[in-house]
Amino acid sequence: MLSGWRVEGGHIRNIYLIKDLARLSGHSIYTVKYYLKLGLFKEFGRSPETNYRYFDDAALKSLEKIHSLRKQGRSIKEIKDELL
């Protein structure tokens, strides 16, 4: 389920929680957190009330690319080099 959206500069931006990213990208929550820790993608922001991480479509696209590259047998180092 989409966690929400917000309008920035006239554009609608989808906002996801980590559980949404995991489900939509085909990764486990643990794996998403691991990739985040490695710096393969970034969070969009955090909720000041709950400290939940928020992610946007760019993070989802990055995770989809990571998923595809891992299925091709690429190592984390190769993926990191390609993404960054």
What gap in Å lies between CA 84 and CA 79, rounded to an integer? 8
pLDDT at 83: 86
Domain count, the chain: 1
pLDDT at 12: 73
CA distances from 35 to 32, 46, 57 (A): 5, 17, 16
Q: For residue 51, give its domain range.
A: 4-83
Domain CATH for 18? 1.10.1660.10
CB 36 within 8 A of CB 43: yes
What gap in Å lies between CA 29 and CA 16, rounded to an integer? 13
Mean pLDDT by 10 residues, the chain (84 residues): 60 86 92 95 91 93 93 94 87
